[in-house]
Amino acid sequence: MSLWTAAEIAGATGGTSSGEFVAEGVTFDSREIIGGELFIAMKGEATDGHRFIEGAHEKGAAGFLVSEDCAYPNVRVPDSFEALQALGRAGRDRVGATIVGVTGSVGKTSVKEALRHAFQEIEPEHTHWSVKSYNNHTGVPLSLARMPRDARLAVFEMGMNHTGELAALTRLVRPQVAVVTWVTSAHLAFFENEEAIADAKGEIFEGLEPGGVAVLPFDSPHYARLRAKAERHAARIFSFGSGAGADVRALQSASDAGGSTVIADVDGNRVAYRIPLPGAHWIANSLAVLAAVHAAGVDLAAAALGLSQMQGLEGRGAQYRIPAKDGEALLIDESYNANPASMAASLAVLGAAKAARRIAVLGPMRELGDASERLHAELAPHVSAAKVDVAVLVGDETIPLESALPREIAVVRVSDAAGARAALSDIIAAGDAILLKASNSVGLGRIASALRGIN
């Protein structure tokens, strides 16, 4: 079954087709082409996708969505960005799938991936999901355009850092179930306070289909605010958390270095399961997944089995054994992003790890605005609670944290990721546990790759 024909692309976008072709995939990144894709030539601030048409053709692209002349099979449109939005809407319109949308300050990619695993236990051949962190104004319509016409279950991640962004994205996705994982001070530089962030996250409910369900974090200090927003758009609301009164609640839970075990009450149904991922944040993530699965009306037991197969994501909690002097060390890769809540959760995982020493490589949490110094300093109790022996602090933004740390924690100050990598080469020994955590722009992911021998 083809994903798109040229006629369908032209009909969806209002473009003009140069002739018939069939696309089995969609991308606007020529590096992703393996053969048979529609390549969308996007014009951005940094580059113009039309420059990559020749290379995309050589790699086997089936056709092109362009706003300029093209020598190969194409659909010509006035604006390729607007055409991508239109193709995404058409992709959504033609399917009868049950769709879950996920947002939150932390945990949205993890919950999306866990939902993907759960859904694949139920519909292994008919589950669709957004890949990587394709959660913005280009990634969401691209993920919709990639959705097979016979999809039955789908999950899409949606992100934002400004008011109004989620409202636009959720009206593209039009989910039957909308999940908010958590609200914290991520992107505080663009909002007056956390309440304003909660309001922006609540925009996800605006796109709910009639009869749709909202899934909310019961333990959040912003629960009442989120619920008030959800009540205006959702036919039903499911809450998840540890507090009495949550619709999906952990009755018993325990986390160790090897993972987390949970007995949960899911709206009156008892479910026991184990996730091979440690930390209280993963227990909360799993409850959000079960709430979404229940809201979608699919098999809880199969979803729990899917959770048991969930693995740590690269840059988001994946753990690796890496070579060290006289043996091996444990690497906890949380290098993809950071905010106060995820920093605390990651440090707790480091603290629970069995290790001769604990080394925390911590870089800046970006986009915190005027609260940046205070929020970095407030990480100090979490570093102490994690029993960190050595803190490698990256960049000037972590100076307030260094000032707040107790003297018994050895501090190594470096200016950038390269400096952190050099410092680690002199520090790591057998039996150590090393945490990498910072905003993605700091580049600690390169350290993870180097320690794993990838580059």
Residue 90 lies inside a defined structural domain of this protein = no
User: 410 and 277 in one domain?
Assistant: no
Query: Of 79, 106, 130, at which residue does a domain stop?
Result: 79
CA distance 437 to 444: 7
Q: Is 239 annotated as a binding residue?
A: no
How many structural domains does the chain have? 3
Say yes or no: 178 and 303 in one domain. Answer: yes
> How confident is the model at residue 325, as a pLDDT?
85
Domain membership of residue 344 as a residue range = 318-451
Residues of the chain short of pLDDT 70, as ranges, are 1, 455
Q: Is residue 89, in this structure, part of any structural domain at all?
A: no
Both 21 and 100 in one domain: the answer is no
**Residue 453 marked in a binding site:** no
Give the CATH number of the domain where residue 143 resides: 3.40.1190.10
104 assigned binding-site residue: yes
Give me the DSSP letters along 117-178.
HHHHHH-TTSEEE--TT--STTHHHHHHHTS-TT--EEEEE---SSTTHHHHHHHHH--SEE
Same domain for 69 and 114: no
pLDDT number for residue 132? 81
Return the pLDDT at 323.
93
Which one, of 142, 148, 128, lies nearest residue 172 by Cα?
A: 142
What six digits make up the tokens of 56?
A: 């995309």
Q: Estimate to the nearest angstrom the gap between the alpha carbon of 64 and the chain centroid.
A: 29
Residue where a domain stops, chosen among 290, 308, 326: 308
106 in a known ligand binding site: yes
> In this structure, are 358 and 296 located in the same domain?
no
105 is in an annotated binding site: yes
Is 139 annotated to bind a ligand? Reply is: no
pLDDT of residue 173: 98
- In CATH, what number is assigned to the domain containing residue 74? 3.40.1390.10
What pLDDT, on the 0 to 100 scale, is given for residue 455?
59
- Which one, of 15, 50, 56, 53, lies nearest residue 35 by Cα? 56
- The DSSP symbol for 312 reads P
pLDDT at 313: 83
69 and 135 together in one domain: no
Is the domain of 298 the same as that of 170? yes
Question: Is the domain of 163 the same as that of 100?
Answer: yes
- Is 205 contained in some domain? yes
Pairing of strands 357-362, 390-394: parallel
Could you tell me if 299 and 358 lie in one domain?
Answer: no
Residue 109 known to bind ligand:
yes
